[in-house]
Structure 1
Amino acid sequence: MSALVGWSATAALAAYAQRRPGVPVIGWLVASLGLTVGLSAAVIGALFDFNGVTFRLLHIGISLLGPLYMAWGALEYGVRSAQGRFASRLFLSAFTIVPLVILSMDRISGRFSTGFPALGDHYDLIPRSIVNVSQVVIAVFLVTAVVAVARRPGADRNHRLAVVGLVALAALLSITVGRLGLGAVGPLLMLGAVAALWGAAALMVRPRRDRYDEDDDYYDDYEDDADRDPEDELLEEPVRRKRRNADPYDDYYDGPPVRQSPPAKLRGVITIYTLGDGQGPGFDRIADAVVAEVASREPDTLLFACHTVPSAPSQRIVYAIYRDDLAKEEHDQQPHVMEFGRRTGSHVVATNVIELSLAGAAASDGLASLLMPR
């Protein structure tokens, strides 16, 4: 049963990652795939007795890859620092390749039982030590993600803590089964791990919003369908705002909806890049491309522009204004934004980020059309 649920969760995560690619989703997709392959090997082992192949696949999935990529996805989801994310990717590479080779090649001793075999009962000292160190790294990733989310201001902090908490629960259950086996209870705990990971991904996809919250501007983008160009809808497809799929008004009230105009809480970010010698033209070409993509694909990014500094030729300043926190989050997950960060890494020697809260400013579609040409 847990293997079937795991394949279902993997298929759902793969479909979502294809529609809205993002680093946390990809990490959890790899984790789900690792858990599912391990559970499938356990099913074969339970039916036809465990052997070296099924035992290795089981523990590579549930003791190493599954928890490691869950924790890394949670860190990418919760941490904003580019330096922190880069360091986590270095650790991820090291603790994927080295333990994977050791667990695949090291000899296995002892006879297998009918239940889930514990990792320590059949692996020698070196594989056990490598897995123990990997699980310490997993714990560090999860604690870092929780602390980063808890320190972040904003109304969505509790929602993000719930997502990270579910991922931590899934990783804990998977590690527990890998270390202890637990016989017939093991499959039930793994079912809980898969369900927790699936729930975290679903909660991240559709954040909870209070229907009657005065700060929730459901009707910011309300307009006559006859005036909407169908091609414009296609351009906004990569990462669309969750609230644009709000429930129909007529399900709750009688009569036509009344347009509401609560003050929007804008978010602003100023990023100062210090470039290496001779890197200005290359950086400018990449920046021009991402500015064009943002202008055509992100209706809720009200301003996104890159400027030179006459008195400092090696510096570039990127100004960005977002409709709210959700718009900034979705901007950061856009494929062209992640590609911009990847391609400019070789051009930039230092980065300074200044975040602004523009509460009280008014945002509307008219302002958006003035700031960003469509």
Structure 2
Amino acid sequence: MVGMVTVGLTFISALVGWSATAALTAYAQRRPGVAAVAWLIASLAMTVGLSAAVIGVLFDFGQVTFRLLHIGVSLLGPLFAAWGAVEFAVRSPNGRFTTRLFVTALTIVPLVVLGVDRISGRFDAAFPPLGDHYDLIPRTLVNGVQGFVVVLLVLAIVALVRRGLRGSGRTDLAVLGLVALAVLLSVVVGRAGLGVLGPLLLLGAVSSLWGAGALAAKPRRDAYDDEYDDYYDDEYDDEDDELDDEPQEQPVRRKRRNAENYDDLYAEAPPAPPSKLRGVITIYTLADGQGAGFDQLANAVVAEVSKREPDTLLFAAHTVPSAPLQRIVYAIYRDELAQEEHEQQPHVMEFTRRLSAHVVATNVIELSLSGAAATDGLAAMLMPR
């Protein structure tokens, strides 16, 4: 009787796992990103392990089903779930890059060892704990990976808490909580087996990942949006008051300067000196109905660039009247270092992170200034400081 219950629970858990994997695939398409892909891989790994367990509880576990179960449940599932948490919460490019290096190493080496190392002991239909059948080296590697998983989850939670939990910060914390729960349940099953409770805990693990992906993909407002909405509301209210108080002036029309003798002018013009100025034009193609959301993000980042980046000489966002689903952002930097510093600013990285919900294609054109002419005050008009 207990065996049939275990078979039924394992089969149901595997079905839920494949449903969760399909849902996470849809979430990854809706809001593409490394975190979504990592959670998709984690769900797929756990589900493959559960599918192998269905065969194991029906006909007794063997070497193949045992390996597949623990590669998915003890190794890849927890590791990629925790990596997705870091990609979701940590905004530092250096931190993300370092994490990716470690994840790559801790995927390849243990995967090879768990796939080929000797297995000892006899199997039955119960969920087999990893330590009962693997030797010292694979057990040590899995313990090391799971310790690294704990470090990744702690780093992700700390990074989120340091940014503050107002706005959507609480939702993001719930996402990390669900990921941590999925990791915990998966690791417990891999270490202890737990008999009939094993498939139930794995069902909870894949369901938690499913919930985390759904929360992460859900469109929402957060502290980033609220902060700049308040900024713009105050800014525009102040401007409206000033316009009401000031008398309206008539536009001044200037006479054109004498533009004769162009040949002499160009013949005597010295060559333009080499310039260190850097320019970038970025053309965004938006998804249907995402214009307002993109414009809100663009307004927020333009305000922050104006306020915090003196070496970004010009930063402007434009709509395209003839192409409603296109936006053009262009920037001029004092030099290459100013461009690099701009790209590392928190508000710029946040803007880049949020683009995936609104943009379907991006084209970047880098410029090197060879000559320019502008009226006085152009930069001040486009980027008031």
Report if aligned partners of 2:78, 2:149 keep a CA contact under 8 Å in 1.
Answer: yes
- Of 287, 294, 304, the match for 1:237: 287
Asked if 1:155 is matched to 2:167, the reply is yes
Change (3 A) 1:16 1:50: same
1:182 aligns with 194
Q: 2:355 aligns with which of 331, 339, 344?
A: 331
1:340-351 equivalences in 2 (<5 Å): none
- Structure 2 vs 1, CA of residues 112 and 156 (structure 1 numbering), >3 Å: closer, same or farther? same
Equivalent of 1:93 in 104, 118, 129: 104
Aligned to 1:170: 182
1:125 aligns with 2:136: yes
Letter in structure 2 aligned against 1:40: S
Q: What is the aligned-residue identity percentage?
A: 52
Would the aligned equivalents of 1:236 and 1:298 in 2 still touch at CA under 8 Å? yes
Q: What runs of 5+ residues in structure 1 fail to find an aligned partner?
A: 221-233, 245-263, 274-290, 345-369
Summarize the Cα distance change of 1:158–1:306 in structure 2 as closer, same or farther, 3 Å threshold: same
Question: Residue in 2 aligned with 1:49?
Answer: 60
Counterpart amino acid of 1:64?
A: L
1:170 touches 1:194 (CA, 8 Å); kept in 2?
yes
Shift of 1:315: 4.5
8 A contact 2:52–2:65 mirrored in 1: yes
Q: Deviations over 1:290-312 (max 9, x none)?
A: x999998988x8x8433232xx4
Q: Distance in 2 between matches of 1:272 and 1:128?
A: 54
Structure-2-length-normalised TM-score:
0.63
Letter in 2 for 1:182: L
1:316 pairs with one of 327, 339, 343: 339
**For residues 294 and 10 of structure 1, what CA distance do their matches in structure 2 show?**
39
- Identify if the C-alpha distance between structure 1 residues 313 and 71 changes in structure 2 by more than 3 Å, giving closer, same or farther: closer
Deviations 1:267-299 (A, max 9, x none): 6356899xxxxxxxxxxxxxxxxx999998988
In the alignment, which residue of structure 1 is the partner of 2:206? 194
Give the CA RMSD over aligned residues.
4.3
Which one has the largest radius of gyration?
2
Q: 1:72 to 1:108 in 2, by over 3 A?
A: same
Give 1:67 shift: 0.6
The alpha-carbon deviation at position 21 of structure 1 amounts to: 1.6
Counterpart amino acid of 1:179? R
State the Cα distance separating 1:102 from its structure 2 match: 0.2
Which AA in structure 1 matches 2:191? R
**Alignment check: 8 A CA contact 2:129 2:190 kept:** yes
Q: 1:25 to 1:293 in 2, by over 3 A?
A: farther
Query: Which amino acid in the other structure matches residue 204 of structure 2?
Result: G
Q: Secondary structure at the match of 1:305?
A: strand
Indicate conservation of the 8 Å contact 1:107/1:124, yes or no: yes
Q: In the superposition, relative to structure 1, how do residues 160 and 124 fare at CA in structure 2: closer, same or farther (>3 Å)?
A: same
Cα distance in 1, alignment partners of residues 353 and 44 from structure 2: 26
How far the C-alpha of 1:159 sits from its partner, in A, is 1.1
Among candidates 55, 78, 81, match of residue 70 of structure 1: 81
Aligned residue for 1:31?
42
The residue number in structure 2 matching 1:8 is: 19
Q: Which has the larger displacement, 7-16 or 189-198? A: 7-16
| Secondary structure of the structure 1 residue equivalent to 2:163 | coil
Partner residue, 2:239 = none
Is 1:268 the counterpart of 2:279? The answer is no
Cα gap change, 1:209 to 1:17, in 2 (>3 Å):
closer
- The residue type paired with residue 17 of structure 1 is A
1:316 Cα deviation after fit: 2.3
> Using a 3 Å threshold, how does the CA distance of structure 1 residues 107 and 316 change in structure 2: closer, same or farther?
same
Once the two structures are superposed, what CA deviation does each residue of 1:14-69 show, in whole Å capped at 9, x if it has no partner? Answer: 12323432111000010011011000000011111110000000000000001100
Q: In 2 relative to 1, CA 110–315 (structure 1 residues): closer, same or farther, beyond 3 Å?
A: same
Aligned residues, how many?
Answer: 286
Equivalent in the alignment of 2:28: 17
Task: Return 5+ residue gaps in structure 2 as ranges.
Answer: 1-11, 233-283, 312-316, 367-381
Q: 2:331 aligns with which of 292, 306, 317?
A: 306
Could you tell me whether the CA contact under 8 Å between 2:32 and 2:356 is conserved in 1? Answer: no
User: Is this contact kept in 2: 1:119–1:179, CA < 8 A?
Assistant: yes
Q: Which residue of 1 aligns with 2:149?
A: 138
**What SS does structure 2 have at the residue aligned with 1:307?**
strand
What is the letter of the counterpart of residue 166 of structure 1? L
C-alpha distance 75-103 of structure 1, shift in aligned 2 (>3 A)? same
Give 1:205's aligned residue: 217
1:354-373 equivalence runs, <5 A: none
Does the 8 Å CA contact 2:167/2:221 hold for their aligned counterparts?
Answer: no
Distance of aligned partners of 1:127 and 1:216 in 2 relative to their CA distance in 1, 3 Å threshold: same
